[in-house]
Structure 1
Amino acid sequence: MEPVRTCIGCRSRAPRSSLLRVVLQDSRVVADATAVRPGRGAWLHPTHECFRLAERKRAFGRALRRPGELDTSDVENRLNG
């Protein structure tokens, strides 16, 4: 049975393989496609809708336990292709 994680954008549960893991690296939120980078991670559906929801709710800072403004441009660029 595959592990289940919760998307920080839409808050729905999904298999780990269908979500994108993001981690904090020097005050920047970066995509962790292999899900092996060190540090606290958060999970997000790889869609623009869930990304926008997570930004609007300020879910990145809360999930990664870092208050304040975070640079999410790396994740946004990955979603754009």
Structure 2
Amino acid sequence: MRVVLTVAESESRPGGVASGAGVQVRPDPRCRLPGRGAWLHVSLECLDQAIRRRAFTRALRVEVPGNRLDCDLVREYLSAHTTE
């Protein structure tokens, strides 16, 4: 499954650095959202591992203070679409 980074207009800064509050990773199951994407297995275990290893910040090439990205939308999508 593809995921993309969404940043609120007021939160973005030059150089791909975001201030943190408006940065969110969201699912893109149809692979149509604009921007750099990252790929993830459709499992909550894989999501937890990607968060733990900070894979999204590397794959999406973004710097977020404290390396904390909001992945709630991806977690909700996976919870609804998996039977783990």
Q: How does the TM-score come out when normalised to structure 2? A: 0.71
Pick the structure with greater CA Rg.
2
The structure in which a higher percent of residues are helix is 2
Higher relative contact order (CA 8 A, sep 6+): 2
Structure 2 gaps of 5+ residues are 8-22
Which position in structure 2 is the counterpart of 1:77? Answer: 76
Q: How does the TM-score come out when normalised to structure 1? A: 0.73
Q: How many percent identity over aligned positions?
A: 47
Question: Hey, what's the Cα distance between the residues in 1 that align with 2:55 and 2:39?
Answer: 11
The root-mean-square deviation of aligned C-alpha atoms, in Å, is 0.7
Which position in structure 1 is the counterpart of 2:31? Answer: 35
Structure 1 gaps of 5+ residues are 1-19
The structure in which a higher percent of residues are strand is 1
Question: Hey, what's the Cα distance between the residues in 2 that align with 1:56 and 1:70?
Answer: 11
The alpha carbon displacement at 1:67 in A equals 1.5
